[in-house]
Amino acid sequence: MNESGKRLGKLVELARRGRPETEPAGSPAFTARVIAQWSADRDGAPDWLGELIRLGRVGLAFALVVLLASVVFHRPTPSGAGDLLAAFAGIEPSAMSGL
């Protein structure tokens, strides 16, 4: 171990002994505060609402995957997704009609 490492070792040893001991924070008032907050959270957001939000997110992700798949795998034609792709790529749709 080099000199700097030895000095760090001494610092760690001293710091270990110097960690401040503090009085416990836990008290009946703290317990009551936690329970009150837990009850408020439960009342504010019922289980069915959380489930609905979760299902909504899953549905949105699925729709996004379907949309991306349709754009990627759709044949480039002058209509539909082909137009959309051409618009994004800045190509004149008529230029793609021969593809």
In the complex, the residues that contact another protein under the rule CB under 8 A are 3-5, 7-8, 10-12, 14-20, 22, 24-26, 30-31, 33-35, 37-39, 41-42
Of 24 and 98, nearer to another protein (C-beta) is 24
Residue 25 or 99 having the CB closest to another protein: 25
CB of 47 vs another protein, minimal distance in Å: 10
Of 37, 17, 35, 80, which Cα lies nearest the Cα of 93? 80
For the CB of residue 54, give the shortest distance to another protein in the complex, in Å.
13
* Closest CB 22 distance from another protein, rounded Å: 7
Token pair of 54, please? 């979760």
Give pairs for 29-32: CB < 8 Å, separation 24+: none
What distance in Å separates the CA atoms of residue 69 and residue 85, rounded to the nearest whole number? 13
Q: How many CB atoms lie within 10 A of CB 71?
A: 14
